[in-house]
Chains A and B, each alone.
Chain A
């Protein structure tokens, strides 16, 4: 007889343990789902995403269920959390959740732990409600965030920090970007409706269509034909904010995976667009995306912070700087960000963002527009970077963003995560008339 099917709970535990040891959830899942059927992979992903999302809560719960804490058993610990998550939050029959999770212990090479896993999960079934009530009432535990991130979000969103953190625990919708070159949003909606896929237009992003339930993108009408792409509504705001005009010379400084560049090319005729990314591997994804959509751009693997190495001296009419950031605005899509980021990353990121802005500013022509964007929740990577840039560049002025989405800050505009939108920050700059270059 062929080997039995792989134990999905064991694989989910390995993925979760991988994230807690520093690997990205995408990479950890790719390794565990490679040989699985679509249905098995979907169940494995649902378990792993859920556990990573609520890791701190589940870990605290497991601590109250264990006689003594597990030491140096990251995979077994992850397996216990996978079991608890199935019992607490998933539509899995409880006997299957317990039985399959117990059976996963030998698959992890720990047959001795079967009794332990069984005892912990059965105790949760008996005493779960009381144990849940006994958990610390702090937001960091209840909403599963590291202490430093709770403190930072509290400081930056004093009135709505709890909603902001809670929104990070709600998986974002699957949002499509309709390729204007291939059709209207209305016809895309009609096509989806005809295929029995529930979807609606997003009010403040003119090309965005939001699906009621996520689906594999390859199954959507028009994906392979390049009529639609996947992109969050907040990211789709960039194309309008940049106010690009036909034939202009545009720099997309941190382009990968190329969604914003593609959107610009779909929207504006004859752009001379240079898509830059420091990572050649990631730049290949830009190429793939543009090819699928039959769009053209210059592609260059180069460090945007060192234009002397690649800039030909001709100014750009538009510059999009979608800067590397903590990603705290997209935690709802990438819950591993909660645990992979460190507090010390934030000042490092802010310094990099400032350096990129300073380096790219001289490349902007006199009538030009530079759009600065991050998918961070934190002022340190948004408003503060933009304000400091303005304060140190006399030839720069803010071009305020008037919009129905989000909220204006002292500089730029931010949008909280939740509903149709990822958390994002945008600020727009132009050259001060009459001022000489910096």
Chain B
């Protein structure tokens, strides 16, 4: 397994809608394992494939404190959403920044597991928030898109400065 580099905003590869996964082969299994390792090392609770430069509709998640509830979402869709609330959010591709946005507190997810088997899942709280965040990634969206243009501009400048300083 390997920790993969995570792309940072404003990388254009974060802005493409990802195509569905069709082949459930060895390469896909290796990619999923690497994505988990990358996510745990970040540390984060979710990671989408296009954040590590792979254009596939695939994300991994684990919202548990003990790192013992890994979840693979392939070709995910939301089939129900409810109870919008304001929550604080951050993204591994927008480092060191957090802000409040609105997310559904309850939802039902339909997706495929790592073997291509379909499942449905109801989630609330942090897990529901994370599912929405990762599906946004797979649609080429970032949580900062929900912020005011003024805030977005400030974030873009800050990250550009950090990128220059970091070489």
Is A bound to B? yes
Q: Which residues of A approach B to under 8 Å, CB–CB?
A: 1-5, 106-107, 109, 111
Q: Is the CB of A1 within 8 A of B65?
A: no
Residues of B whose CB lies within 8 Å of any CB of A are 42-47, 61, 63, 65-66, 88-92, 95, 98, 126, 129-130, 133-134
In the complex, the answer to whether B43 meets A1 with C-beta atoms within 8 Å is no
CB closest residue in chain A, given B61: A1
Give the distance in Å from the alpha carbon of A245 to the alpha carbon of B46 in the complex. Answer: 68
Contact with B65, one of A2, A5, A106 (Cβ below 8 angstroms): A106
Inter-chain pairs besides A2-B45, A2-B92, A5-B90, 20 sampled, C-beta below 8 Å = A1-B44, A1-B45, A1-B46, A1-B61, A1-B89, A1-B90, A1-B92, A1-B130, A1-B133, A2-B42, A2-B90, A2-B98, A3-B44, A3-B45, A4-B63, A4-B88, A4-B126, A4-B129, A5-B98, A109-B65
Q: Please, which residue of chain B has its CB at the minimum distance from the CB of A5? A: B88
Residues of A within 8 A of B42 (CB): 2
By a CB distance below 8 angstroms, the chain B residues around A1 are 44-47, 61, 89-92, 129-130, 133-134
CA of A5 to CA of B126, assembled, Å: 10
20 example contacts (A-B, Cβ-Cβ < 8 A) are as follows A1-B46, A1-B47, A1-B61, A1-B90, A1-B129, A1-B134, A2-B42, A2-B90, A2-B92, A2-B95, A2-B98, A3-B44, A3-B45, A3-B90, A4-B88, A4-B129, A5-B88, A5-B98, A109-B65, A109-B66
A4 vs B91: C-alpha distance when bound (angstroms): 10
Query: Once bound together, how far apart are the Cα atoms of A107 and B64, in whole Å?
Result: 9
**Is B88 a contact of A2 with CB atoms below 8 Å?**
no
CA distance A319 to B98 in the complex (A): 53
Closest chain-B Cβ to A262's Cβ sits at a distance in Å of: 37
Minimum CB–CB distance for A117 against chain B, Å:
16
Q: How far is the CA of A134 from the CA of B129 in the complex (A)?
A: 43
CB distance from B96 to the nearest CB of A (A): 9
The CA-CA distance from A296 to B13 in the complex, in Å, is: 59
Give the complex CA separation of A155 and B66 in angstroms. Answer: 53
Select from chain B the residue with minimum beta-carbon distance to A37: B98
Q: Which of A3, A4, A107, A111 has the most CB of B within 10 A?
A: A4
Please, which residue of chain B has its CB at the minimum distance from the CB of A103? B125
Name the A residues within 8 Å of B45 (CB-CB). Answer: 1-4
Question: Shortest CB–CB separation between residue A113 and chain B, in angstroms?
Answer: 13
User: Which has the most chain B C-beta neighbours within 10 Å: A1, A2, A4?
Assistant: A1
How far, in angstroms, from A106 to B65 measured CA to CA in the complex?
7
Q: Which residues of B contact A111 (CB under 8 A)?
A: 65
